[in-house]
């Protein structure tokens, strides 16, 4: 369904342009690879870092600069859970919902995040500051439960630390 939307969008005149910074970064990455398709994930990350998410128009712009079909870029974007295809908050809170984190109490932590942020998992706060997302593993099972905010990982996390932690990211 998303692929059809991208194809339809292609025929509409849309005022969307990559910034000079984004173009330069992507072009610099292209120089490191024989095939521009190999730059797809890097290009998506470059654009997302500036805009927080990847719109359909961004898919088309990346497609144009790489000379790769929009469908190919969309496939890469939807395969990786770190690429956001809809708007997210400025701070992404990821909680590990693996069996190990479950055994060690992630559900109580999730409940507290939902209570304090007044959102459910998968949602973004009204002020656009936080998005709360599950992830299947953060790779620190021996120190669970684990949460990650943006690039910061918090091990052996206790729900009593939530308010202090949220204040750090406001």
**Domain edge (last residue) among 79, 102, 123:** 79
34 with 97, same domain?
A: no
Classify residue 85: in a domain, yes or no: no
Tokens 């870092």 locate to 49
Classify residue 7: in a domain, yes or no: yes
CATH number at residue 121: 3.40.30.10
Classify residue 95: in a domain, yes or no: yes
Classify residue 86: in a domain, yes or no: no
Number of domains in the chain: 2
Instruction: Tell me which H or E stretch contains 54.
Output: none
CA separation for the pair 47, 83 (Å, rounded): 10
Look at residue 81 in the predicted model and tell me its pLDDT. 84
Alpha helices, DSSP H, located in the chain: 2-10, 20-30, 40-51, 56-66, 70-79, 99-103, 106-117, 162-168
Give tens-digit pLDDT for 22-73: 999 999 999 999 999 999 999 999 999 999 999 999 999 999 999 999 999 9
Domain residues for 8? 2-79
Classify residue 30: in a domain, yes or no: yes
71 with 103, same domain?
A: no
10 has a pLDDT exceeding 80: no
CA separation for the pair 33, 35 (Å, rounded): 5
19 with 63, same domain?
A: yes
Give tens-digit pLDDT for 108-135: 999 999 999 999 999 999 999 999 999 9
116 with 71, same domain?
A: no
How would you write 130-149 as a 3-class SS string?
EEEEEECCCCCHHHCCCEEE
Classify residue 120: in a domain, yes or no: yes
CATH number at residue 54: 1.10.10
Dihedrals phi, psi of 131, to nearest 5 degrees:
-125, 135
Look at residue 11 in the predicted model and tell me its pLDDT. 45
Please list, in sequence order, all residues whose beta carbon lies within 8 angstroms of the beta carbon of residue 13, skipping any fewer than 6 positions away: none
**Domain edge (last residue) among 55, 79, 103:** 79
Q: Model's pTM, two decimal places?
A: 0.77
Look at residue 15 in the predicted model and tell me its pLDDT. 76
């Amino acid at each position: 369904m998303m692929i059809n939307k991208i194809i339809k969008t292609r025929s509409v005149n849309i005022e969307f342009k990559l910034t000079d910074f984004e173009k330069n970064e992507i072009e610099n990455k292209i120089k490191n690879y024989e095939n521009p398709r190999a730059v797809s994930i890097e290009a998506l990350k470059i654009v997302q870092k500036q805009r927080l998410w990847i719109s359909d128009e961004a898919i088309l712009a990346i497609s144009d600069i790489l000379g790769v079909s929009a469908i190919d870029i969309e496939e890469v974007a939807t395969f990786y859970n770190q690429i956001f295809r809809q708007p997210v908050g400025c701070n992404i809170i990821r909680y590990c919902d693996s069996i190990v984190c479950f055994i060690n109490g992630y559900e109580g932590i999730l409940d507290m995040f939902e209570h304090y942020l007044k959102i459910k998992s998968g949602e973004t706060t009204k002020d656009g500051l936080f998005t709360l997302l599950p992830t299947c593993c953060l790779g620190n099972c021996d120190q669970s439960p684990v949460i990650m905010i943006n690039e910061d990982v918090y091990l052996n996390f206790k729900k009593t630390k939530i308010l202090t932690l949220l204040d750090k990211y406001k």
